[in-house]
Amino acid sequence: MAHEYPTLSQAPYWWPSRTPAADNPWGCPYVQRDGERNPEVDSGTDRQDLEKVFDSSYDLVLAWYYTGKGQYARKAADILRTWFLSPDTRMNPNLDHAQFIPCKYDGRAIGIIDFSQSYTSVVDAVALLETGAPSWTRADREAMGEWNSDFLGWLRNSDFGKQEAAAANNHGTFYDMLVAGLAYATGDRELARRTVREAAARRVDAQIAADGSQPLELARTRSWHYSTFDLVAYTRLAAIGENVGVDLWAHRGPQGQSLFAAVRYLLPAATGREPWPHPELEFRRFAASDVVHAAADAGDGAARRALPLLEAPPGGDLWALRPAAEQLDSIAGRPAPRSAVGAP
């Protein structure tokens, strides 16, 4: 008999308000402390294992792609089969138990971002494997496509998915990016095209101000992190658009809203010319590097002139080696999972 397993994650910014005791082992009720990450999220859930799956499969496939050494692809294929395909270990294609809050919710729509922010690294890894990697078979390709199709169906039709689609901040942007990426990967180019096209008014016009600021992200205690984070989703969405005939970079809203304006808003702080003028618990200048690279590649002169002034991420500037922009900082205090859209 085949088994399927739910994936469990815990809300990162929720903390116990009482000392755990025999009659209240969690220390409930939990209270929100925005931007302050509770280390509990890394124990007793699938959060770290999930990030390792995404990171390792993506890194191993890139290693195979650039070196031609088959052992990297074989290991990546083993990881993907174990997590997504094997009848005895595969994950359910849903996120019904993402970002639970002890004694409050078994799962929340907002938890979809645990996948949407980085699952496209797996989509890219699979796309690269399908260019001729050893040990990735036709059966693997078909089974992975089926899993992605089922997951896309859940994202579009479940109550959680519909709630996340209606989100007006980075959650909504990443939701659109994931839907578009999965649609493209599973052959539904019309859905991918429509999702990117509709994001122009639904996301860019609504979430980016005329001066390029992102008001909903600036309201956070980690305003720099979330401003760059949201732009990672936008730049990946634009990369998908390039494959389906939609130029999201060219869009201008009624007040001049655009992705270029949003990137330019970051440039004074990204280049070190000026301090970031908004709340930020832990400013990391390098977090903007990939989105500035993406804007420069898309033709923005200000972004291109800023490139020599950027701070390199801890692992070095790997922009030329990756399919698309990545989130380079992490609320966990360590380099974030590598993920992108638009594998070569």
Look at residue 330 and tell me if it is in a domain. no
Answer whether residue 166 shows pLDDT above 80.
Answer: yes
The number of folded domains in the chain is: 1
Provide the pLDDT for residue 333.
53
Look at residue 26 and tell me if it is in a domain. no
**Considering the chain, what is the average pLDDT of its residues?**
91
Look at residue 251 and tell me if it is in a domain. yes
Look at residue 340 and tell me if it is in a domain. no
Residue range 172-196, pLDDT digits in tens: 999 999 999 999 999 999 999 999 9
Look at residue 24 and tell me if it is in a domain. no
Mean pLDDT across 89-108: 84
pLDDT band at 106 (very low <50, low <70, confident <90, very high): confident
CA distance 233 to 322: 15
Residue range 285-338, pLDDT digits in tens: 999 999 999 999 999 999 999 999 999 999 899 999 988 899 999 876 544 433
What is the pTM for the complete model shown? 0.89
Q: Who wins on pLDDT, 33 or 213?
A: 213
Answer whether residue 52 shows pLDDT above 50.
Answer: yes
pLDDT band at 108 (very low <50, low <70, confident <90, very high): confident
Mean pLDDT across 203-225: 97
Provide the pLDDT for residue 63.
96
Provide the pLDDT for residue 151.
97
- CATH number for the domain spanning 115: value is 1.50.10.100
Answer whether residue 60 shows pLDDT above 60.
Answer: yes
Look at residue 209 and tell me if it is in a domain. yes
Provide the pLDDT for residue 334.
43
Look at residue 54 and tell me if it is in a domain. yes
What percentage of the chain exceeds 90 in pLDDT? 72
CA distance 88 to 81: 10
- What is the domain extent for residue 46? 8-18+34-321
CA distance 57 to 237: 22
Q: Who wins on pLDDT, 113 or 37?
A: 113
Look at residue 90 and tell me if it is in a domain. yes
Provide the pLDDT for residue 339.
35
CA distance 57 to 25: 36
Provide the pLDDT for residue 340.
33
